[in-house]
């Protein structure tokens, strides 16, 4: 597990390996929104210079909103496969100072 230290108001970008062409999406499973806000970054087609081949990575912006500590947990899942274990998971501990 990774630990990220941020000051209140700072942001950190996380890029997770995508498997969208196989139906998988990274989904935020847990965090404390009082300490860290999590926002998925969506890109338009104009963002990419060449042809898109394969799956795109997914990006999330973590923004420190208040001092404290929060475990942010993502799971890579197929939404139509309810109740199954995730294909992959990623956890990051965010420590926010004032």
Low-confidence ranges of the chain (pLDDT < 70): 43-54
- Per-residue pLDDT, 17: 92
CATH number of the CATH domain containing 77: 2.60.40.2020
- Per-residue pLDDT, 20: 83
- Per-residue pLDDT, 61: 97
Helix (H, G, I), strand (E, B) or coil at 69: strand
- Per-residue pLDDT, 26: 95
Helix (H, G, I), strand (E, B) or coil at 45: helix
- Per-residue pLDDT, 49: 63
Number of domains in the chain: 1
* Residue span of the structural domain in which 78 resides: 2-97
Helix (H, G, I), strand (E, B) or coil at 21: helix
- Per-residue pLDDT, 53: 60
């Amino acid at each position: 597990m990774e630990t990220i230290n941020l000051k209140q108001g700072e942001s950190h970008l996380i890029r997770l390996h995508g498997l969208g062409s196989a139906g998988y999406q990274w989904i935020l499973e847990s965090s404390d929104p009082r300490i860290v806000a999590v926002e998925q970054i969506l890109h338009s087609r104009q963002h990419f210079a060449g042809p898109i081949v394969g799956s795109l990575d997914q990006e999330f912006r973590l923004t420190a909103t208040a001092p404290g500590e929060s475990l942010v947990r993502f799971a890579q899942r197929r939404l139509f496969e309810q109740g199954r274990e995730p294909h992959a998971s990623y956890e990051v501990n965010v420590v926010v100072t004032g």
